[in-house]
Amino acid sequence: MKELLRLAGRGEGGNLEFKRCLLRRVHLQRDRRQSLACQLRYRAANGSGRAVYLIGVSDSGEAVGITREELEESVEVLSEIASEAGFCITSRKDYALNGRYCAMLVLERSRIEKEHLLVAVAGHVDHGKSTLVGTLVSGELDDGTGKTRRYLDTRKHEIERGLSAELSYAVYGFTSSGEPVRLRNPLSRRERAEVVKRAAKLVSFVDTVGHEPWLRTTIRGIVGQKLDYGILTVAANEGITHITREHLGIMLAMDLPVVVVVTKSDLARDLGELHRELTRLLALVGRVPKLVSSLRDLEQLGNFWQSHALVPVIAVSAVTGEGLELLDRLLYMLPKRVSQPERSAGFLMYIDKIYRVPGTGTVVSGSVKRGTVRRGDRLYLGPDAEGRFHRVRSTSIEVHHLSVENAEVGEVVGIAIKGTELEPRRGMVLSSTKLHATRSFTAEVVVLNHPTRVASGYEPVVHLETISEAVVLEPLEREYLAAGDRGMVRMRFKYHPHYVEVGQRFVFREGRSKGIGVVTQVHYS
């Protein structure tokens, strides 16, 4: 509160503007809106592109306070005015004043559109996934005990056991010339936001879970995101395990270009033998490894992400730094894998996580599957238990803790929503259009592993986008399917309706039994 009073005492002028209250019915009228947008540009010009607004403060600089509802409406109105002027709110601080509220808002130019890769990192437990990501985003070498892992494992039991139990997200970037933009403290929200602002290209990592009991969480991290690439880690001192094969299979089932990173190269017993093992493993799935040990090797990769046949293999050490510069260069050169139809289509996002944020309300997060979402957009949330979709409004958007005006396909975002009493749950969607939910669909599946037969009434769990639910399966072309069989089946969700599209890939599991599939028809009866 002292900070706000100090600014108010300084007096209005320069890049500082006082507003008691901004009302939608008054301040968004055409002439008034344009006048306020011009005023914002003027304030920002006096502050080197940065304006500071005090809400709940009179023209004389007295902090009078307004109700919580008036404050939220004022912030929404200012956000819309800022959008028209090419600005966005980059920080907000609320202050309580005898049961009323004031706020300090910082507004800056909206970010320039930039390339944003989304990369999943998978592999067996203790094969160095989190340590690798922590080292990449911080530029800090590890001490051999997983020191940089702390940037990803933040829960008490994860830190104590040294095992990740939930998906973690991290980000770093590159300048236009390819120099890495790292974080001095990856745990700082402010620093993450600063990297998003500064970098010309961003790389967001989805750090998955290597421990077998949490395999469904890893599947969610790979299946439920709009990923561009997958990194499979293999520890040089342990080699390929059944989890390595499992994670590789999931990435390939999702049609992801894969990069194999051999971690802990400083502890390698025989890198040549490990390469031969990788060659044999990749040959089973129609892939060819390409050792990358120099910049020249990077140049020879060509457009491997288009055919997917070539798999780059880079040996790194988070302790000595070996190979990390090459991995940086590879990530810098990789393009965003989004088609123009996905960019121009209507907005769609499958919900992965739900938060309750004081002063903001309900925030849902996930990766944007297609289209663009903007602050203030009218959206649809659903389906509910009856298959209906409810109107909501996006009141704010964040990308790695940076408040932005819009987010596009492939970005991991948090969207604050208002306007409905429907409780969001994982597997629901946010969309720009009203959709139709379904309880069943037809799919072509391949049974990868099953001890007996897959017959009518079989109930595996389907992982499709962020949906994770039991289905009742019915083979359509034969009485049953066995391991190695391919066939058409009908799947019916057991508990909830969901939004499903033709062409979506999925994984289904029950114990150690596993299969993959693609949706061929959606039923709306």
Task: Express each pLDDT in 317-358 by its tens digit.
Answer: 999 999 999 999 899 888 888 877 888 899 999 999 999 988
Q: Which two tokens stand for residue 479?
A: 């009485």
**Omega cis (within 30) before 460:** no
| Whole-number pLDDT of residue 113 | 58
pLDDT at 161 over 70: no
Q: Return the CATH architecture of domain 440-523.
A: Beta Barrel (2.40)
| Whole-number pLDDT of residue 220 | 82
- Per-residue b/e over 150-175, b at no fewer than 16 CB within 10 Å? bbbbeeeebeeeebbebbbbbbbbbe
| Whole-number pLDDT of residue 34 | 75
Name the β-bridge partners of 354.
364
| Whole-number pLDDT of residue 155 | 43
CA distance 508 to 446: 10
More confident residue, 115 or 299: 115
pLDDT at 385 over 60: yes
Question: What are 424-472's pLDDT values in tens digits?
Answer: 999 999 999 999 999 999 999 999 888 889 999 999 999 999 999 999 9
pLDDT > 70: what percent of the chain? 94
Mean pLDDT value across the chain: 87
C-beta of residue 282 within 8 angstroms of C-beta of residue 258: no
Closest CA to 202 of 113, 108, 91, 107: 113
**Strand arrangement of the beta sheet that strand 16-19 belongs to:** 16-19, 50-55, 100-109, 87-97
Name the β-bridge partners of 93.
104
Angle at 83 between CA 79 and CA 85, to 5 degrees: 115
- Tracing tokens 């604050």 back to the chain, one arrives at 416
Q: Provide the 3-class DSSP secondary structure of residue 71.
A: helix
| Whole-number pLDDT of residue 69 | 93
Q: Return the CATH architecture of domain 115-333.
A: 3-Layer(aba) Sandwich (3.40)
Q: Return the CATH architecture of domain 2-109.
A: 2-Layer Sandwich (3.30)
CA 392 to chain centre: 21
Confidence of residue 8 (pLDDT cuts 50, 70, 90): low
C-beta of residue 65 within 8 angstroms of C-beta of residue 30: no
| Whole-number pLDDT of residue 162 | 44
The dihedral formed by the CA atoms of 377, 383, 385 and 390, expressed in degrees to the nearest 10: 20
C-beta of residue 58 within 8 angstroms of C-beta of residue 93: no
- Largest interatomic CA distance in the chain: 81
Domain edges within the chain = 2-109, 115-333, 340-431, 440-523
Q: Give backbone dihedrals phi and psi of 41, rounded to 5 degrees, phi first.
A: -60, -40
| Whole-number pLDDT of residue 137 | 92
| Whole-number pLDDT of residue 257 | 93
CA distance 393 to 377: 6
The pTM of this model reads 0.73
Q: Please compute the mean of the pLDDT values over residues 484-493 and round it to a whole number.
A: 96
| Whole-number pLDDT of residue 459 | 95
Q: Provide the 3-class DSSP secondary structure of residue 504.
A: coil
DSSP 275: H
Strands 467-475 and 353-357: unpaired
Question: What are 296-307's pLDDT values in tens digits?
Answer: 888 778 778 777
Closest CA to 385 of 496, 499, 524, 467: 496
The reply to whether domains 340-431 and 440-523 share a CATH topology is: yes
| Whole-number pLDDT of residue 163 | 44
DSSP 276: H
CATH annotation of 340-431: 2.40.30.10
| Whole-number pLDDT of residue 160 | 40
| Whole-number pLDDT of residue 110 | 66
User: Which helix (H) or strand (E) is 134 found in, with range?
Assistant: helix 129-138
- Per-residue b/e over 63-89, b at no fewer than 16 CB within 10 Å? bebbeeebbbbbbbbbbbbbbebebbb
